[in-house]
Structure 1
Amino acid sequence: MYAYDKYDHALVNSRVAEFRDQVERRVRGELTEEEFRPLRLMNGLYLQLHAYMLRVAVPYGTLSADQMRTLAHIARKYDKGYGHFTTRQNIQYNWPKLSDTPDILQELADVEMHAIQTSGNCIRNVTTDQFAGATADEVADPRPYAELIRQWSSFHPEFSFLPRKFKIAITGADIDRAAVKWHDIGLVVKKNDAGEIGFEVLVGGGMGRTPVIAKTIRDFLPEADLLSYLEAILRVYNEQGRRDNKYKARIKILVDALGADEYARQTEEEWQKIKDLPIDFPAEEAARIKAFFAPPPLQVLSDNVPAVDELASKNFLFDAWLKNNTNQHKVPGHVNVTISLKPHGGIPGDATAEQMDLVAALADEYSQGELRISHEQNLILPHVAKKDLPAIWTDLDEAGLGIPNAGLLTDMIACPGLDYCSLANARSIPLAQELGKRFDDFKRLQDIGPLKIKISGCINSCGHHHAGHIGILGVDRKGEENYQLLLGGSGAEDASKAAILGPGFDEIGIIDAVEKVVAVYLGERNEGEEFLATYRRVGPDVFKEAVYGTR
């Protein structure tokens, strides 16, 4: 993984010192909250319903065991003993004291972490595949490119005050685990007919009030032209994006207004003006960055491990965990382990300080001291030898982290909702908890199979409900919490936008409605057919009739 150089250290430490002065001035009353707001947002500090919230960057979701220990320490010392892992592969602390935030940022800086550009109208944390560099199905590891984008975009003078926040995702695999089509810019690493590395470039995706799936504006961009082409895309957006209405300020609105072909034409025109400027990374810098992501020295091992097979034959939960929570590694005899942060009846994405310490210890012992965060709010141990799986699962299970539900119905995405967020209209967390309890049967979950439920507490869509096979959106109906049911969304390579099925429900009603939808699927599916395929084949009417009693 990437290690800071002297410039990174100087930059981050100077930002901490600057913010410490700003916080002290705010505490003394020399800055009003209005004056302080843009300063704190530049450092990832929000003011939510009950307290400040600090969002810490985890670039492209990769961190070390030592960094995870620091996150655990911060949760224990400065918060209420837990952290919340997010869909941008970051972590949030919901209860820090304002006066403590400079000390938190300094402790982060000491282990090469920060909270810069995790908020504000700038380029946010670049996200990618949680299995990047460790999966058998990728063209190339996308993380070096994500790191180059991070370095290029951090404090970029033109793009620090964009019309609206800006999100980039990149994947190097045929299976899209990074939801690139739902981002302002999506990048897919690919090879051309000559075997050269490059990118498919998509623009204009996003959720919120106006959900839009990104459009391809270039089928193949050579590797060496990445940064200058991104700069051209952003220059067009920065010049023409709406600034008079924040609800129409995202690039998706501009791309829709101009049309993808016209946006591509203007980007190419702008690119011709700047592509020969010293924007793109020189070959030696690309090589330097890529060296940080060299694969670990894993030995080829046998995929046949009798001890694993024996435990799986005796323990249903371990067998289910093997099937659902492990992903094939590029090196034989190894896997990537998904640690589900979705315990039945628990809060999606939350982990206690003790759990974070345990995961860090497991990373040191079994996964080369490396960890990942997925955009589905789970943790990953990459590079794990299959022979170590029984020991890992036993330790996780004892800590309440051995849940074998990755990719299943209870592996839900949920935003913080009205329990924390000042923008929310409805609660998301209690709804996720009750759904987890309603479907608290592993054999039933296995029978249902892969099914993604995503819950948002408001139209801002932080829970990605538009991309859920089953999406739930909380809204305000005359002062009461009301939940809309959406079906048919996808965040994968077959991206699709979920559609509202009908009128909304109260909390109990929406849980009953989900159960009816699942029952229809089980009755209508063909052998081996997953939920989304069934929905697309039979259409919404049969589901609508079961839920509402009418088509």
Structure 2
Amino acid sequence: MYTYNEFDEAFVRSRVAQFRGQVERRLDGSLTEDEFRPLRLMNGLYLQLHAYMLRVAIPYGTLDSAKMRQLAYLADTYDKGYGHFTTRQNIQYNWPKLGDVPDMLSALADVEMHAIQTSGNTIRNVTSDHFAGAAADEIADPRPVAELLRQWSTDHPEFQFLPRKFKIAITGSPTDRAVTKAHDIGLRMVRNDAGEAGFEVIVGGGLGRTPMVGKVIRDFLPQADLLPYCEAIVSVYNLLGRRDNKYKARIKITVHENGLDKIRELVEARFAEIRPAFSGVDQKHLAAIEAQFAAPAFKQAETEAFDKAYDADPVFRSWADTNLTAHKAEGYAIVTVSLKAHGETPGDATSDQMRLLADLAKQYAHDELRISHEQNVVLPHVHKSDLPALHAALRGAGLGTANVGLASDIIACPGMDYCALATARSIPVAQKIAERVDALKIEHEVGALKIKISGCINACGHHHVGHIGILGLDRAGVENYQITLGGDGTETAAIGTRTGPGFAYDEIVPAIERLLLAYLEERESPEETFLETYNRTGMAPFKTALYGEEQGGRARAA
């Protein structure tokens, strides 16, 4: 895990002191809200429906027990005893008082954390595969490269006022667990024909009001060229991107309007121009960073305790089947801790839960935790012999739900409960869907399913790439929920297709229930997933389930 050096410490502390002065001037009236707005956004502070919201960066989703405990401290001291983990692997506090924010930032600096560039038209928090450094299918740990990108982009003098916000995601595996094709730049580690590791580089992905799947600008880029190539992409976008219309300012529109070939030509020219200036300095710096991401000293132990618990305890077995993922080290597993207990707010964790997770990470997981873009917490390195005790501790804190990857493991934005941009509620819909599938006792039978909910067209809930996506809108003052099907956030990324007319707030949960029951009727075998069934059958049977035979028949005819 990366540890701050003297420069990092001084930089973050100076930003805290600078912002403290800006807050004082806002509170005494020296700064108007309009004057203060760009200053607070540079430090991750938003003004939401009911209060300020502070968004704290968790770079590439990685933290240790000390950081997690400090997040719990902030929740207790300055908020209402909880925090909300987001799809950008950050944490948000929804109720801070403006005068307390500098103290919050100072407390974050005490554990090498900050809120810099978690907002604004700049390069945001770099996200990564939440199984990085642990996954059995991984080519290499991408987090050192993510850290290099973080350092390069932080306070970059050329990129602080881009046409629009800019997001980068990276995965070290051919299996995309970081939704790279829905980012401004997506980086997916691959091997070339010679077996060398490098990156597939994707540009122009994004969701929101104009969802687009990113396009491959380079099939294979050597790692040594990655930083100057990313700089070339952002430089071209900074000059070419539109500033006359914020809805057309993202790089996805720049690529769409100019064409991939022209963008590639401009990027390659800029890359050739700036590449010599790097002269290997970035690679020397990367080597120093990589030394801080060495794998932990994995222990050697028998797994008999795991095997006995798996055979004897059906509750443990269910959890192990859904919440564990194969680890690269023999005898180990990756544990995903669900923050989606049925009926709870997706992504929320209480301060007590955070402290428990910190304790468990220290005791069982080599003092590492990850935040996933799916709003769960990951303990990446747990020996199987420790899993029964870990599971028992999680269950006691309401964190033992066996639903990772299932219908109730829902991504949901804060929606109209908190967000000033939202046009509909997201959290209550997610809660009611989870409660309904639990009551029906069908989610394990349904199996792998990604339901994602957004409360407005900005798509913070990633609904476009949900197997079932739900978009809440305002229709003449009434909440209306559109459904999309067939979205995919993996390496085979696809934007979901709208089913038809939307549903009222009290109709959306029954509509989702009908979709799930239709899938169980239509699938050819229990092994065929919802997405596979939809891709095989098309929209027709699901449209019939939602709207009746007439509209389903029209879908078949089309």
Fold shared by both chains (TM-score > 0.5): yes
- The C-alpha deviation readout for 1:477-520, integer Å capped at 9, x for no partner, is 00001100111001011111011101011122111111111111
Is 1:86 aligned with 2:123?
no
- 1:406-459 CA-to-partner distances (Å, cap 9, x unmatched) read 000000000000000000000000101111110115952111000000000000
Q: Which residue matches 1:392?
A: 390
Aligned to 2:358: 360
- Residue in 2 that maps onto 1:531: 530
1:155 aligns with 2:155: yes
**1:226–1:280 contact (8 Å) kept in structure 2:** no
Deviations 1:322-369 (A, max 9, x none): 011111111000011000000100000000000000000000000111
Give me the whole-angstrom Cα distance separating, in 2, the residues matched to 1:525 and 1:317.
27
**One-letter identity of the residue aligned with 2:145:** Y
> Any idea what SS the aligned residue of 1:227 has?
helix
Q: How does 1:323-362 map to 2 (within 5 A)?
A: 323-362=321-360
* 2:412 corresponds to: 414
* 1:351-400 C-alpha deviation (Å, 9 max, x unpaired): 00000000000000001111100000000111100000000000000100
Aligned pair 1:58/2:61, yes or no?
no
Structure 1 residues 517 and 30 mapped into 2: Cα distance closer, same or farther (>3 Å)? same
Stretch moving more, 221-230 or 177-186: 221-230
**Cα drift, residue 279 of structure 1:** 7.3
In the other structure, the counterpart of 1:546 is 545
Alpha-carbon distance, 1:300 to partner: 4.3
CA separation of 1:281 and 1:179: change in aligned 2, threshold 3 A = farther
| Mapping for residues 5-404 of structure 1, pairs under 5 Å | 5-278=5-278, 281-302=281-302, 305-404=303-402
Report how far residue 174 of structure 1 moved.
2.0
Q: Match of 1:535, as an amino acid?
A: Y
Equivalent residues of 2:174, 2:189 under 8 A apart = no
Query: Once the 2 structures are TM-superposed, how far is the Cα of residue 280 of structure 1 from its aligned partner?
Result: 5.8
Q: Which moved more, 1:89-98 or 1:280-289?
A: 280-289
Provide the secondary structure at the position in 1 that maps to 2:369.
strand
2:370 partner amino acid? R
Q: 2-side partners of 1:530 and 1:282: how far apart?
A: 43
| Structure 2 counterpart of 1:433, one-letter code | Q
The 2-side partners of 1:282 and 1:123 are apart by 18
Aligned counterparts, 1:496-515, within 5 A = 496-515=494-513
Structure 2: how far apart are the matches of 1:34 and 1:74?
Answer: 27
Query: What amino acid is aligned across from residue 226 of structure 2 in structure 1?
Result: L
Deviation sequence 1:451-482 (CA, Å, 0-9, x none): 00000000000000000000000000000011
**SS, match of residue 188 in structure 2:** strand
In structure 2, the residue matched to 1:474 is: 472
* 2:555 alignment partner in structure 1: none
Name the SS for the 1:440 alignment partner: helix
- Measured against aligned partners, the alpha-carbon deviations of 1:20-60 in whole angstroms (never above 9, x if no partner) come to 00000000010000000000000000000000000000000
Question: SS at 2:30's partner residue?
Answer: coil
Displacement of 1:316 after TM fit? 2.4
Q: Distance in 2 between matches of 1:277 and 1:309?
A: 56
CA distance in 2, matches of 1:94, 1:122: 22
Are residues 441 and 330 of structure 1, via their aligned partners in 2, closer, same or farther at CA, if it must alter by over 3 Å?
farther
Q: What does the per-residue CA deviation read over 1:122-176, in whole Å, with 9 as the maximum and x for residues that have no partner?
A: 0000001111011110111000000000000000111110000000000111211
1:262, CA displacement in angstroms? Answer: 1.8
Structure 1 partner of 2:428? 430
Q: 1:44 to 1:282 in 2, by over 3 A?
A: closer
| Partners of 2:301 and 2:385 within 8 A in 1 | no
Deviations 1:296-327 (A, max 9, x none): 1113445xx33323323333221111011111
One-letter amino acid of the structure 2 residue matched with residue 536 of structure 1: N
| Residue deviations 1:173-229 (CA, integer Å, cap 9, x gap) | 121110001100000112223333321100000000000000001011111111111
Q: Is the 8 A contact 1:453 1:469 kept in 2?
A: yes
Query: Take 2:287 and 2:144, find their aligned partners in 1: how far apart are those partners?
Result: 9
Match of 1:513, as an amino acid? A
Equivalent residue for 2:556? none
* 1:462 maps to 2:455: no
2:410 counterpart letter in structure 1: M
Instruction: Give the paired residue count.
Output: 549
**C-alpha distance in structure 2 between counterparts of 1:301 and 1:265, whole Å:** 54
Deviation at 1:282, TM superposition (A): 3.9
Q: Secondary structure at the match of 2:70?
A: helix
More divergent stretch after superposition (372-381 vs 292-301): 292-301
The AA in structure 1 aligned to 2:54 is L
Give SS of 2:442's match. helix
Q: How many angstroms apart in 2 are the aligned matches of 1:390 and 1:128?
A: 29
Secondary structure class of the residue paired with 1:187: strand
Task: Measure, in 2, the Cα distance between the counterparts of 1:359 and 1:479.
Answer: 41
Cα distance in 2 for residues equivalent to 1:317 and 1:547:
34
Q: TM-score, normalised by structure 2?
A: 0.97
Question: For the Cα contact (< 8 Å) 1:489–1:496, is it kept in 2?
Answer: yes
Q: Aligned pair in 2 of structure 1 residues 146, 18: CA closer, same or farther (>3 Å)?
A: same
Which secondary structure does the structure 1 equivalent of 2:216 belong to?
Answer: strand
Distance 2:151 2:440 in 1: 44
SS, match of residue 115 in structure 2 = coil
In the alignment, residue 50 of structure 1 is paired with which amino acid? H
Tell me, in whole angstroms, the C-alpha distance in 2 between the residues paired with 1:280 and 1:316: 55
Contact preservation (8 Å) 1:301, 1:332 = no
In 1, distance between residues paired with 2:443 and 2:510? 16
Separation (CA, whole Å) in 2 of partners of 1:442 and 1:546: 17
Structure 1 residue 284: Cα displacement = 2.6
How far residue 265 of structure 1 moved from its aligned partner, in angstroms, is 1.2
Residue 389 to residue 406, structure 1, CA distance change in 2 (3 Å):
same
Structure 2 residue identity aligned to 1:490: D
Matches of 1:458 and 1:476, distance apart in 2: 9
User: Within 1, Cα distance between the matches of 2:304 and 2:272?
Assistant: 59
Question: In structure 1, what is the Cα distance between the partners aligned to 2:304 and 2:293?
Answer: 32
| C-alpha distance in 2 between matches for 1:538 and 1:468 | 17
Q: Does the 8 Å contact 1:227/1:280 carry over to 2?
A: no
